[in-house]
Amino acid sequence: MPEWIQTTLTSNWFWAALALVVGYAVTLMGLPVYTWWERRGAGMLQMRPGPNRRGPYGIVQAIADAVKLAMKEDFVPAGANRLLHALAPMIIMTVALTTFAVVPWTGDVQLLGKSVRLQVADLNVGIIFVLAIASLAVHGIVLAGWSSNNKYSLLGGLRGAAQMVSYEIAMGLALVAVIMVTGSVSIHQMVADQAGPIWKWGIFQAPLAFIIYLAASYAEANRVPFDLPEAESEIVAGYHTEYSSLRFGLFYMGEYVHMAVSAALMALLFFGGWHLPWVEQLLGPQAYSRLFPWLLGAGALAALLLAWDVNRPRRRRFSRGNGIMAVICLLAALVLIALAVVVGANSDSAWVAALATLGSQLVIMLVKFLFFFWLFIWVRWTLPRFRYDQLMRLGWKVLLPLGLFNIGLTAVLVLAGIV
């Protein structure tokens, strides 16, 4: 292997930059996929097709809507504060993206004599950093509501501020219990503590903390049933009523990025992150490198099934480009199969095994992340919206006492050596 490649592969800057690419791919580049996924998911849950005309499975519809949104007129109300009106969506989007800096996508792997990890910044106070940065999002909502000079926007901003402050407390209390169990505030260390049997996962070590965190994360993201700040049947669109074009798009994108952050943290803190239960006991110390060819094979099988499904007469009757997508899926399947063969044939090479381990852990983490992202969509199209008094009562009279009780219970269990 050339020396410059070795230098690159062992550079922390290279892996930090790669983690940044993964983070932005999951957030910004994934936004058209998320919007399409939400529409298709809504159609499935409501027993209707969903978008299925523009492109295979209607996926081009999401791209067309993004282009249409960008081409719309960007107006500012006459009585609005122009500076704060423009600043508010930037705050929302910046806060949502910044939290991805401390998300670890893989564990530590020895590559060419150096420990590497797919993470932008390994802060020893990672979970506190996430809570601190996420709490700044309320400023964007309040500024958007106040600066628009609109009574509905102001009401939505006030609702959003009260809701986010209320549920941040419950979220923090839930994470305190997780910190007590793991004995660390580093996200990477929290995930490393969940290796081994499945009962070491956070969901089994602190189940009540997961329930509280799940509810609080939905409220923080302003998703149904906690979407009171933008309830269209009551206050038009809430704090972003007076926004259009790309400024409205930043609010729209910020919500999905916030959902992505919450989904990633659920997978990391409560469901083992990149770990699979008992995999090292079953496959040995190089378990994840041995698992990688099988994961590639599963991906190739999924691509072949997609190529078959998209080219069925029923699919072809409703949209164009199905043949092109089928060819792309076939090529992707061939590439994955070839890569699996190469990795399997060179499994004795230390650097190939290290890269295969990183690939396996990244795939496992992304699968768990996508499940929790789907859970956001599932809940939105299943549950009705709370009344505002019900929302505040749940935050202050249910989740807050439960969070305090959970801390006491966790402390007793930790001292007794049960968890």
Residues 301, 304, 306, 312, CA torsion sign: negative
**Taking a C-beta distance cutoff of 8 angstroms, is the pair 395, 170 a contact?**
yes
* Residue with tokens 């049933």, as numbered in its chain: 225
More confident residue, 363 or 5: 363
Q: Is the bond into 225 cis (omega within 30 degrees of 0)?
A: yes
- Give the closest residue to 343 by CA, choosing from 335, 147, 116, 101: 335
- Give the closest residue to 97 by CA, choosing from 136, 124, 62: 136
pLDDT, tens only, 374-402? 999 999 888 888 888 888 999 899 999 99
pTM of this structure = 0.91
Q: What's the CA gap between 224 and 207, in Å, rounded?
A: 22
Examine the pLDDT at 266 and tell me if it is beyond 90. Answer: yes
**Taking a C-beta distance cutoff of 8 angstroms, is the pair 160, 141 a contact?**
yes
Tell me what pLDDT residue 330 has.
94
Residue 1: pLDDT band with limits 50, 70, 90 = low
Examine the pLDDT at 406 and tell me if it is beyond 90. Answer: yes
User: What does residue 52 show for φ and ψ, rounded to 5 degrees?
Assistant: -150, 20
How many C-beta neighbours within 10 Å does residue 308 have?
13
pLDDT, tens only, 227-243? 887 777 677 777 888 88
pLDDT, tens only, 101-124? 889 998 888 887 788 888 888 888
The mean per-residue pLDDT over the stretch 71-97 comes to 85
Q: What's the CA gap between 250 and 46, in Å, rounded?
A: 28
Q: What's the CA gap between 148 and 140, in Å, rounded?
A: 12
pLDDT, tens only, 201-259? 999 999 999 999 999 999 888 888 888 877 776 777 778 888 888 888 888 888 888 89
